[in-house]
Amino acid sequence: MKQEIDPKDTNRKEAFEHWMNSPMPMVTFMRTFDVTRLHKLSKKRGMKFNMLLCWCIAQTASKMEEFYLLPENGKLYKYDRLAINMIVNNRKGGLSFCDIANTDDLEEFNANYMHLTSTISETCQDILDSEAVIVGTSAVLETELDCIVNQYSGIYTNPFLAWGRYRKKWFHYYLPISFQFHHVQMDGAQAGKFLANLQRFMDTI
């Protein structure tokens, strides 16, 4: 569920006043992650690497209160649950979108991921959750990328992560990931904490 809240009642009061009307309120961080453990788990359990990465992102984001606050159309909203958005190539040659609810159960998340992505690929119909705060993702697997910058217009205010193909170096696998967020939602300190927590979560999965 989402509900409008007064920014003055949150710790984002000053950020809301400073950045809500900024013509370019989005900030992008980029970090290269060691995804060796995810790669091994993907091979060992026959699970898609991108699914595992999305689950790690959802799990890490769900533990930080900043992710449940989102500015939209000049207002601030609070959510009580989180989902992660996937972009899927559909059978017509276009793109379709689905929101997958966060869950602590990896097997459940994997089942939902496989079902929803295959469904929208075939039907070409988006499956979206308007009552959950959405963490956007985009995997550009056709090439290796150092960084991806999404729209800075403030039209799409939800946090967004994007990446290309992972890279192998000796016996490790590395993946640069871009993280874009609205400055009203969080500051650099919180964004940095999220990225550090994401690496720790992937190291212990």
Give the tens place of pLDDT for each residue, 34-51: 999 999 999 999 999 999
pLDDT band at 149; cut points 50, 70, 90: confident
pLDDT digits (tens, 9 = 90+) for 49-99: 999 999 999 999 999 999 999 999 899 999 999 999 999 999 999 999 999
> Helix (H, G, I), strand (E, B), or coil: what is residue 115?
helix
Given a contact cutoff of 8 angstroms between Cβ atoms, the answer to whether 48 and 105 are in contact is no
Q: Tell me if 154 is assigned to some domain.
A: yes
pLDDT of residue 192: 98
b/e 54-75 (16+ beta carbons within 10 angstroms → b): bbbbbbbbbeeebbbbbbeeee
What is the average pLDDT value for the chain, to the nearest integer?
A: 94
Across 93-115, average pLDDT? 97
Q: Is the pLDDT score of 154 beyond 70?
A: no
Q: Tell me if 43 is assigned to some domain.
A: yes
Q: Tell me if 68 is assigned to some domain.
A: yes
Structure tokens at 59: 């799990």
Whose CA is closest to 80, among 95, 102, 99, 98? 102
Q: Is the pLDDT score of 151 beyond 80?
A: no
> Domain residues for 123?
29-204
Total number of domains constituting the chain: 1
Q: Tell me if 65 is assigned to some domain.
A: yes
Count the Cβ atoms, other than its own, within 10 Å of residue 20.
20
pLDDT of residue 147: 83
Q: Tell me if 6 is assigned to some domain.
A: no
CATH code of the domain covering residue 34: 3.30.559.10
Q: Tell me if 125 is assigned to some domain.
A: yes
Whose CA is closest to 133, among 77, 192, 174, 197? 77
Q: Tell me if 37 is assigned to some domain.
A: yes
Q: Tell me if 10 is assigned to some domain.
A: no
